[in-house]
Amino acid sequence: MKGFSTGGQKSVFECFLTQGELKEVITGVSNIIDESTDRVHIFPLDGRSRSHTFGAAIPPKDPEFFYFG
């Protein structure tokens, strides 16, 4: 997850993913979790919404460049 993430705290990550990257994340996570004890939630977020951080939280940072091809 850290490879896709733009910020996050311990086990919470915000990622900007293409459909292909989302499939890659789902496959990768599915291969490493213990489905009897681990829980993974993937939530789509509205890109227009602003995030808020509190305390020692690290604010998410957009990449310097976006590629549309």
Q: Measure Cα distances from 10 to 2, 48, 49, 56 in Å.
A: 10, 24, 22, 12
Length of the chain: 69
CA-CA-CA-CA torsion sign (22, 43, 54, 51):
positive
Tens digits of residue pLDDT in 23-37: 999 999 999 988 888
The first and second tokens of residue 15, run together, are 């990622």
User: What is the percent of the chain where pLDDT is above 90?
Assistant: 14
Tens digits of residue pLDDT in 38-48: 888 888 877 77
**Cα–chain-centroid distance for residue 52?**
16
13: pLDDT strictly greater than 80: no
Specify the pLDDT at position 64: 65
